[in-house]
């Protein structure tokens, strides 16, 4: 899918045919679309389709007619019927007349740009647009990390009575998300540092340098948060496993104590259920012997339960 957007002095709109200063957004483009665009802007087809490989790492490639920037972007992925974060590559190609973004999936990263919620956003200001994309991407990482923190808090609230592996699996999936985000953030940090250097091929103005510096700060803050949350999740995963084991042991202990309490009436009823040739069992022959035996068995069983309670075994 290909979309073309253009900013004017008064509006931001989607257009059908390319105009200089436009933004071209590709979402999982076909080979035919990629070839046409590569020929139109003199871009190497391998560079244009490189971000469609989920294993592609973040990098900057400077060519004669364009600059390619590949960064990782956080998205949702469904695992075990729940949504967790992973990252996929996004390519930003800056040419003389356009900015081209390409990715395997539709990204929420662009929503604020579509809705004109980004201040001083114009498609013809190519360098600033690139830095605004990187800054918004860093904000998405921070939002993703906060979301993971809230999910871990919800799981922690369920731990007290946890006896199954569901909470443990959820914690492991959150840990996996943290690993993906942390690795991608470190790659992205290298890209931002390269862009801040004086050897960068992209022309920067004072406002752009401030924006890029803010992007680097946000990225480094996200890395710090990822480190903290990773340590917290590791500790919580170990604690979760211990709590589940303790809760299961408590259940087994309770069942064992209940079995011991019920053993007393079982022995009595078993004895009275035997057949003897000369039956001289206690209480035999009394009108209400059955109820006497029931009361004696209940009293002995209650005494065992009271003993366990005093020992604080229940």
pLDDT of 48? 92
Distance CA 27, CA 85 (A): 19
Q: How many residues does the chain have?
A: 314
What pLDDT sits at residue 278? Answer: 59
Token pair 């480094």 is found at 220
H/E element, 90: strand 82-95
Q: What pLDDT was estimated at residue 131? A: 92
Contact assessment for residue 244 and residue 280, using Cβ atoms and an 8 Å cutoff: no
Closest CA to 184 of 13, 59, 290, 36: 59
Closest CA to 21 of 99, 133, 91: 99
pLDDT tens, N- to C-terminus, the chain (314 residues): 889 999 887 788 888 888 888 999 999 999 999 999 999 999 999 999 999 998 898 999 888 888 999 999 999 887 777 788 899 999 999 998 899 999 999 998 998 888 888 888 888 888 889 999 999 999 999 999 998 888 888 877 776 666 566 777 777 888 888 988 999 999 999 999 888 876 666 777 777 788 888 999 999 999 999 999 888 888 777 777 777 777 777 778 788 888 888 888 888 777 776 655 556 667 666 777 777 778 888 888 888 888 777 877 66
The rounded distance, in Å, linking the Cα atoms of 38 and 30 is 12
Burial 181-209 (b: 16+ CB within 10 A, else e): bbebbebbbebbeebeeeebebebeeebe
The label of the residue with tokens 């679309």 reads 33
Write down the pTM of the prediction. 0.76
The whole-number pLDDT of residue 175 equals 85
What does the pLDDT read at residue 69?
94
Say if residues 222 and 149 touch (Cβ distance below 8 Å): no
pLDDT score for 237: 72
Looking at residue 270, its pLDDT comes to 76
């Amino acid at each position: 899918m290909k979309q073309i957007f253009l900013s004017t002095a008064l509006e931001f709109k989607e257009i059908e045919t390319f105009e200089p200063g436009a933004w071209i957004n590709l979402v999982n483009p076909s080979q035919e679309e990629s070839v046409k665009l590569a020929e139109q802007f003199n871009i190497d087809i391998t560079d244009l389709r490189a971000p469609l490989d989920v294993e592609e790492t973040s990098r900057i490639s400077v060519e004669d007619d364009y600059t390619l920037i590949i960064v990782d972007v956080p998205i949702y992925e469904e695992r075990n019927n729940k949504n967790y974060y992973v990252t996929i590559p996004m390519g930003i190609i800056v040419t003389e007349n356009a900015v081209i973004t390409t990715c395997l999936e539709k990204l929420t990263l662009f929503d604020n740009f579509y809705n004109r919620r980004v201040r001083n956003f114009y498609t013809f200001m190519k360098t600033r647009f690139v830095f605004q994309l990187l800054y918004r991407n860093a904000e998405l990482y921070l939002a993703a990390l906060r979301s993971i923190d809230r999910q871990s808090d919800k799981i922690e609230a369920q731990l007290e009575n946890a006896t199954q592996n569901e909470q443990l699996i959820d914690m492991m999936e959150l840990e996996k998300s943290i690993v993906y985000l942390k690795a991608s953030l470190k790659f992205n940090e290298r890209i931002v540092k390269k862009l801040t250097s004086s050897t960068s091929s992209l022309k920067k103005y004072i406002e752009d340098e401030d924006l890029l510096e803010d992007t680097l700060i946000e990225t480094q803050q996200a890395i710090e948060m990822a480190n903290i949350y990773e340590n917290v999740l590791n500790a919580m995963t170990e604690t979760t496993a211990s709590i589940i084991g303790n809760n299961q042991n408590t259940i087994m202990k309770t069942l064992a104590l209940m079995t011991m309490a019920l053993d007393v009436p079982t022995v009595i009823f078993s004895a009275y259920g035997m057949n003897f040739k000369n039956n001289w069992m206690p209480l035999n022959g009394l009108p209400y012997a059955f109820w006497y035996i029931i009361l004696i068995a209940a009293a002995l069983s209650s005494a065992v339960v009271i003993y366990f309670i005093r020992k604080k075994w229940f």
